[in-house]
Amino acid sequence: MLIAFKSYRCLISLALLLLVILVPVANAQIAVRGTVIDGETDQPFPGVTVSVRGTTLGTTTASDGTYSLQVPDGDVTLVFSFVGYRTQEFNVSASGDVIDVVLQSNVLGLDEFVVVGSRRQPRLLKDSAVPVDVLGPSDLHSMGSTDVDDAVRTQIPSYNLQALNGDEAAIVRPATLRGLPTDNVIVLVNGKRRHRSGSIALSAGSLNEGAQGPDLNMIPTIALRQIEILRDGATAQYGADAIAGVFNLQLREDAQGIRARLRTGQYLKGDGRYVHAAVNTGFSLPRNGFANLSLEYRDVEPTVRGAQRDDALTLASRGYPVADPAQTWGNAEVSHSVVGFLNSGFDVTPGIRGYVFGGGGRRTQEYGFYFRAPGTETARSSVFRFGGERAVVDLKPDSGADCSGGKILPDLDARNAEIQAFIDEYQGECFLFNELFPGGFTPRFGGDIFDISLTAGLRSSNIDGLNWDVSVSGARSLLNFFLYRSVNASFGPDTPTSFKPRSYFQQEAEVSAAFSFPLAVRRMASPIHLAWGATWRTEIFESRPGDPESWKPGPYADQGFSVGSNGYQGLNPDFAGRWSRPNFAIYVDAEADLTRRLLGNVAVRYENFTTEFGSTLNGKLAALYRVSDRISLRATTSTGFRAPTPGQANLNVFRTTGFSKEHGLIEIGVLPSIHPISQALGGKPLTPELATSVSSGVIAEISEDITLTADFFQINVRDRLSLTGSIPITDEIIQIIEPKNLLGGITNIREVRFYSNDFSTRTNGLDLLLAWQREWEPTHAISGSIAWNWTSTSLTHFTPPSEITSFLGETLRDPLPLGLLTKRRQVEIEELNPKHRLVATQRYLLDRWSALFRVSWFDSWQACRFASSTCTADGISVLDYFPSVWLTDVEIGYAFRDLWQVTLGVNNLFDIARSAHMEETHRQGNLSPRSLPFDHNGTSVYLRITTDLY
């Protein structure tokens, strides 16, 4: 059995033993009850948090707005809070044991209550023993963000999102939290785990290289009441993968009203136009029930931020009809994105409530690949050229036309007129791909994404006794890839130009049972909140083969023409498959106010993977100490665990990426770690990642309107799972591979990658947040914040370079230097993300006018030019340094008749950008670096219209 939890095991066991042996003795308490009314609708208000000030005691109102709470006898203040409403406080001694409350809307909404990070009742952020960020509706819909990822990135500095061009990473963009990849983060919806996407990011930079995480953009932002972001290790609480943190997306529960949002905008350069429309409505159901429905539509045009490549300029001067620019760099096109979501609840019996939530959606995303030049020395190998000679298909080898040699064949520097003359003269005998694409071609790659999920369950509503929650969840994510403006060169003139190269299918199911009980204990300021439960999960990954023309060798393969759809080869049925991984977990969690000033939490989780990864035991300790009414200290320590997904363990992909002077565009194969080729290069069966983390922080209420939090963290991850660097395949190795047919007929591969547990890292960081708010009257208020993050990741161990002297049992004449962790990956792990980020936001409300100003600062970063594995070219360093960046965003809004609000905004007001190295621009056409921590398209403007109807 694998034990991830070691040094903390005795400490946690002792803590649990002390909690269990304490004699239960009831403290003097009184029962307070009442009803909460929504001041906006004059209807009962469900879901309102009712808590005891200065403690973590609390409850929430039922579907009819009623509540009941046992509180200590004495000077006790109750706090009533809901997102978007003014918090109200009542002294129990002065108000009596029946307190009815009417909550009014709050234009600021900064008194956030959170659920994530604890299994007790919701609590104020300042009473949380773990660092949590909260984004409410106004945050999610501000600054022209068209998806959840961008809304989070622009406001949480420890959350980084790269602007990428490359295979699946541009379709489902992976993010990092506290310097760790997207599959080190768990996403919850209403406290239930969200499924992974079928997309695996193969070109996302080494921070997310090969990551497979959830697709947040399959949930409409208008469906969300708030997003809670736990920035702390939480494997012991929420399960494997929660090494960096947890996202909890809370859905709206409104039982009436209609909300509508319409947003449109574009970049000042005239492209990237988008339309984003969303509507949310709620209505009542029988048995104190509600149903809340959301629908979102999004359509985003692509952007073009490229210059004409040098080779394309040369070709144009020789008469070739080359597009300008020949290669497109910019944002992907998003079309026909439609997402719907449901949240509902109802009383089954007076003490049992049922709930159902889930949704589905689809979208199409696509972008351009590298330009395939029809001539010059950069002409596409095995399509337009063989080595330094022009490639020609001999349609009639016995005709005597001598297509492949002699003086009749134009060279690579020939003008287009010479090429066309050759085509006309030898029509039907010799074939050049210039006949199909006289100006070359740039493949267009994309995917049709389909997603569906559903969760249903029952939970009890026993405020003072045993509570339980039983649920069942199921989800599917399907990604159908497509490729057009491309060829399978081995089919010659009969090649299709559009392909369906493969599909990925991710399916997950979960059954969970959770229980909790408040155990009154002598001399404690609150009962011990005991929580325990069990979860069974299974996930299935299926790779489905492409259409035959996308992978099958054509009749001209033996003439040397490349096999498979050019740019992204189709999946051979021999490499397709379906793989599953079930796991079972049980957990125990205990939390209590040990004194009026000290809160303690301990959690232990045992998780068993019935496959090769065995079992793991993880734990967490957390504490909050209230130094005074305005200052609190908090600290946590935990262990974590992440197993490779079935998709990561079994992936087979062949694609075009990268560029070298010797070979031009490079074909790369991503193989399973146990594939014979991978094993010959050092591949081994995959093992889980193991992590330990510690954090400590302070919460200071400088005044009633100003709060400061500071949290330091350190995360150590051992045996990190990621793709290796690109390992070159020499001509000698290719000669060994080809007779064995290990690649399904693909012969033009130049590099290989596979997953490995090759390195360990240490991440240190600090999060600072200064937040303020002031409300003079309901129509006159200000609020703002300054959030700063420092995150630094360093390699603590990796396998040193070695030398391979034999391959698949055959001795190599020229030994192959081998380093699984390339220089490029080292740079991207340690230097690609800015080490420092700052986000300063200020909001204003004055009568019908509103305004928002935001300034973002990104520290400097480094990257390897051309995505070079060695970070060198011809022995010269191509490590590029990019200086820090300040971005400014502004929006101004006006409310009409209290129902409609119109907002105008500008992102990147001063059109700040960073330029790629001129050599990269000349050779590839990209004006900006390949990877950027911010939107590289320049200034954009947008118009937003919103309405709330009740």
Three-class SS string for 462-495? CCCCCEEEEEEEEEEEEEEEEEECCCCHHHHHHC
Planar angle of CA 122, 125, 129, nearest 5 degrees: 85
What percent of the residues of the chain are helix, what percent strand, and what percent coil, each to the nearest 5? 15, 50, 40
Which residue do the tokens 């299994």 mark? 119
pLDDT of residue 398: 75
The DSSP call for residue 551 is: T
| 415: containing domain | 392-431
- Of all residues in the chain, what percent carry a pLDDT higher than 70? 91
Average pLDDT on 617-640 reads 95
Among the residues of 239-283, which ranges form H helices? Answer: none
Would you say residue 789 lies in a domain?
no
Dump pLDDT digits (tens) for 242-291.
999 999 999 999 888 899 999 999 999 999 999 999 999 999 999 889 99
Asked if 253 and 284 count as a contact pair (C-beta separation under 8 A), the reply is no
Asked if 84 and 106 count as a contact pair (C-beta separation under 8 A), the reply is yes
And the tokens for 14?
Answer: 């002792």
Number of domains in the chain: 1
And the tokens for 763?
Answer: 């991440």
pTM, full prediction:
0.88
Neighbouring-strand partners of residue 138? none
Would you say residue 396 lies in a domain?
yes
Would you say residue 241 lies in a domain?
no
pLDDT of residue 910: 96
Q: What kind and span of H or E run contains 423?
A: helix 416-425
Which residue do the tokens 């005074």 mark? 628
Would you say residue 508 lies in a domain?
no
Q: Please give the residue that has the higher pLDDT: either 376 or 58.
A: 376
Would you say residue 418 lies in a domain?
yes
pLDDT of residue 421: 94
Dump pLDDT digits (tens) for 599-610.
999 999 999 987
Q: Where are the beta strands (DSSP E) in 86-191?
A: 88-91, 101-103, 113-114, 123-124, 132-135, 159-161, 175-177, 185-189
Would you say residue 383 lies in a domain?
no
Asked if 46 and 254 count as a contact pair (C-beta separation under 8 A), the reply is no
Average pLDDT on 888-917 reads 93
Least confident of 94-108, 167-181, 201-215, 936-950: 94-108
pLDDT of residue 111: 54
Averaged confidence pLDDT in the chain? 88
And the tokens for 782?
Answer: 């200000």
Residue 544 is which amino acid?
A: R
Instruction: Report how far residue 727's alpha carbon sits from residue 825's, in angstroms, rounded to the nearest whole number.
Output: 12
Average pLDDT on 124-142 reads 83
Residue 560 Rama label (left phi>0; alpha psi -120 to 50; beta): left
The DSSP call for residue 373 is: B
pLDDT of residue 19: 43
Average pLDDT on 136-152 reads 80
Average pLDDT on 566-576 reads 90
Q: Please give the residue that has the higher pLDDT: either 195 or 76.
A: 195
Residues with Cβ within 8 Å of residue 374, at least 6 apart in sequence: 315, 320, 380, 384, 419, 433, 434, 437, 438, 439, 440
Residues with Cβ within 8 Å of residue 321, at least 6 apart in sequence: 416, 438, 439
**Gyration radius of the chain's alpha carbons:** 30
Would you say residue 420 lies in a domain?
yes
**Cis geometry, peptide bond prior to residue 646 (ω within 30 degrees of 0):** no
Residue 646's CB is within 10 A of a number of other CB atoms, namely 23
Instruction: Report how far residue 511's alpha carbon sits from residue 20's, in angstroms, rounded to the nearest whole number.
Output: 28
Confidence band for 720, pLDDT divided at 50, 70 and 90: very high
pLDDT of residue 350: 86
Q: Where are the beta strands (DSSP E) in 53-141?
A: 58-60, 66-72, 77-81, 88-91, 101-103, 113-114, 123-124, 132-135
Residue 162 has pLDDT above 80, yes or no: no
pLDDT of residue 693: 96
Least confident of 429-443, 700-714, 799-813: 799-813
Least confident of 13-17, 144-148, 564-568: 13-17
Residue 230's CB is within 10 A of a number of other CB atoms, namely 28
Would you say residue 400 lies in a domain?
yes
pLDDT of residue 54: 67
Residue 381 has pLDDT above 60, yes or no: yes
Residue 135 is which amino acid?
A: L
Which residue do the tokens 């509503």 mark? 461
